[in-house]
Amino acid sequence: MSVEMMTLERAQQLLQTYYGYPDFREGQKRIVLSLLDGSDTLGIMPTGGGKSICYQIPALMLPGLTLVVSPLISLMKDQVDALTAMGIPAAYINSTLSGKEVNERIRAAKRGDLKLLYVAPERLEVDWFRDEMNMLSISCVAVDEAHCVSQWGHDFRTSYLSVAPFVQSLPVRPIVAAFTATATQEVTGDMVRLLRLEQPEVFVTGLGRDNLAMSVLRGENKREFVLKYAAVHAHEPGIIYAATRKDVDDLYERLRSSGIAAGRYHAGMTDDERAASQEAFLYDDIRVMVATNAFGMGIDKSNVRYVIHFNMPKNMEAYIQEAGRAGRDGEPSQCILLFSAQDIMTQKFLIEQNPQESERKTNDYRKLQQMVDYCYTTRCLRNAMLDYFGEEHQDEPCKICSSCTDERELVDMTIDAQKVFSCIHRMRERFGVSMVASVLKGSRNKKVLQYGFDDLSTYGAMSNRTEKEISEIINVMASEGYLVLSEGQYPVLRLQPLAAEVLKGQRRVMQRMPAKGVTEAAGGRSGGSRRHDHSPSAVNETVFEQLRLIRRELAGKEHVPSYIIFNDATLREMSVVCPQTEVEMLNVKGVGEVKFRKYGQPFLDFFREQGEVQDDSDYE
């Protein structure tokens, strides 16, 4: 047997023992082997893709300590709680600890009692801490949320720039592992350069998660949609993101008034208020969290069944990070983006309010336009997302996004497209969407008349439509590559080669026009009821709910969130197989040996009692 096969076999044994899974996912396997081979490694994997396993398993196999750089206190605590529950020696050092507690944990690391130690990046800038770390045998430095090192990333954090100098200052350079959920090629280059990764192995894997149904809905009454959806899915955990504190507060009050157990989270609340709200959500005391983008990084709640964006996010990176918080347990979940043209103005306002260099601002406007294009595209949303992040993929429809499940007939829009392109050409490609729409509508507004556009042959060429409808058509054309919008606060429409082919009659334009009444389609689709790994009809929902009650009682005794005990996917599999023995229980995915010893008996007792009741009823 080769060394690599022996290494993989040992890693798989640890995975089964501690995590209760028989094998790695393909992306995980390659990253684990890369680290155990001693290579610097960059892993770009989706939220819920199992990034933490990629450095936690090597940490158990490598000599010495793995130091994990993690951005948030809540993330550190959740990770360490989960590791401790599995019997893996781990600790964190952050500002919530006293000086005595910090010293105790450093002494434990020196004694070799810990395999993983979590710290914030700011800690690496402290002289005394660096001196202490120099006295430890650190075999690996794992950098979580590594995109924060790049100023072009969506969560730039200057303290991440201290990681590379810290690594260089250690007596023996450890392996460096960097992980993030999303990164463009630009950000990937920054991570390699700014973390000073040495000849790194780079793995981009699985950004298109097949358990997430992506939807973009335009023209909805947003508040009505959110209230209806949350009511229909009241038994399922969900996150609703809004762009402003005002919208968060308004939605929170409306949900509460409707009898829905909701919480809120934004920067205008006190630290204690935010912490209490987050804890209530993690512990399932509330079902719905309404929040700004201040909420979410490091939230390791595995059973979020839906994420609704009340407003369009500022860029694709932020959107995929936030939407990816749904379905981390692999169960089917919904990601719904409610889009309106006003969202574009809101995001432009936020860009202008943020003091930054013109180059950064230009980049933000470019990313915003790419987000707008995503909202208007008629392509498979998963494929559009993968193309944005440069991940190679088969160009096959996902069959579950709002584009793929759109059953409206294709409409030949070639004549309307020719009118739009001709108008842009006659306006010399110097104006934006609203101005072109005004001319095509035949508006008598001041600017149209001032420029003499009422004399153009295309003036009023689409007078049978509203300006809003014309703007929608133009934006769809832009998202499909017929047009491009310049960067900046006031983007200008320009024709692309595809548009020239349409004008010459060499290409037809087929589109599904904006739908009315799609709320039911999105809200009523699987909505998290469809299940993987076992037949939907096999899952006994009554048993599942009883298992959740057992889990909640155990979580209360342990003072940890319920998913730390077992996640929903594990409970659902239990409800199907109804294990009666230790061996049967250990064959359930997510039940490792340590967790079984700590938590398994109450579940096993429950199924044995169920079996006895069944036997009695059969006898009668």
* CATH code at position 306: 3.40.50.300
Does residue 271 share a domain with residue 148? Answer: no
Shared domain check, 219 and 106? no
Compute the distance between CA of residue 571 and CA of residue 589 in angstroms, rounded to an integer: 9
The CATH number of residue 493's host domain is 1.10.10.10
**Tokens at 333, concatenated:** 């979940």
Same domain, 28 and 108: yes
Residue tagged 């920067």 (tokens): 267
Summarised one tens digit per residue, pLDDT across range 32-42 is 999 999 999 99
pLDDT of residue 67: 98
Residue 380's contacts (CB-CB under 8 Å, 6 or more residues apart) are: 397, 398, 401, 403, 404
Q: How far apart are CA 290 and CA 93, in angstroms?
A: 30
Q: Are 67 and 182 members of one domain? A: yes
Supply the pLDDT for residue 39.
Answer: 96
Crossing angle of helices 541-558 and 568-577, rounded to 10°: 130
Task: Note whether 390 and 184 are within 8 A (CB).
Answer: yes
Q: CB-based burial of residue 534 (10 Å sphere; 0-12 exposed, 13-18 middle, 19+ buried)? A: middle
Please indicate, yes or no, whether residues 491 and 602 belong to a single structural domain of this protein: no
574: Cβ–Cβ under 8 A, 6 or more apart, which residues? 547, 566, 585, 588, 603, 607
Whole-angstrom distance, CA of residue 470 vs CA of residue 44: 39
CA distance 254 to 250: 6
pTM of the model: 0.75
Are residues 247 and 310 both part of a single domain?
Answer: yes
Q: What is the pLDDT of residue 610?
A: 79
- pLDDT for res 208: 76
**Measured in whole angstroms, how far is the alpha carbon of residue 497 from the centre of its chain?**
35
Low-confidence ranges of the chain (pLDDT < 70): 1, 48, 153-154, 206, 297-298, 513-539, 611-620
pLDDT for 157 equals 86
H or E element that contains 215: strand 212-218
Distances (CA, A) of 355 to 242, 346, 352: 22, 16, 7
Rounded distance between C-alpha atoms, residue 399 and residue 382, angstroms: 10
What pLDDT score was predicted for residue 523? 43
Residue whose C-alpha is closest to residue 49's, from 327, 386, 334, 393: 327
Of all helices (H) and strands (E), which one includes residue 276? helix 271-282
Q: Which residue has the tokens 């940490």?
A: 59
Tell how many helices (H) and how many strands (E) occur in the chain: 27, 17
DSSP state of 258: T
For residue 598, give the CATH number of its domain: 1.10.150.80
**Pair 196, 116 in one domain:** yes
**Shared-domain flag, residues 344 and 238:** yes
The set of residues, in sequence order, having a beta carbon less than 8 Å from that of 445 and lying 6+ positions away, is 438
Same-domain status, 43 and 123: yes
**Residue range(s) defining the domain that contains residue 611:** 536-619
Domain boundary among 160, 182, 204: 204
448 belongs to a structural domain: yes
